[in-house]
Amino acid sequence: MNKIDHKQKKGMVDISGKDVTKRVAIACAKITMSNAAFKTLLKEGSPKGNVFETAKVAGVMAAKLTPQLIPMCHPLELNKATVTYEIDKKKSAIIIKAEVSYVGRTGVEMEAMVAATTAALTIYDMMKWADKAMIISDVKLLHKSGGKSGTYNRAP
Q: What is the DSSP letter of 46?
A: B
Closest C-alpha to 54, from 122, 125, 130: 122
For the question of residue 19 being annotated catalytic, the response is: no
In the sheet with 152-153, reading across from the earlier edge strand, the strands are 80-88, 93-104, 21-32, 135-145, 152-153
Catalytic site residue from 14, 125, 131, 138 = 125
98: β partners: 27, 83
Active site residues: 125
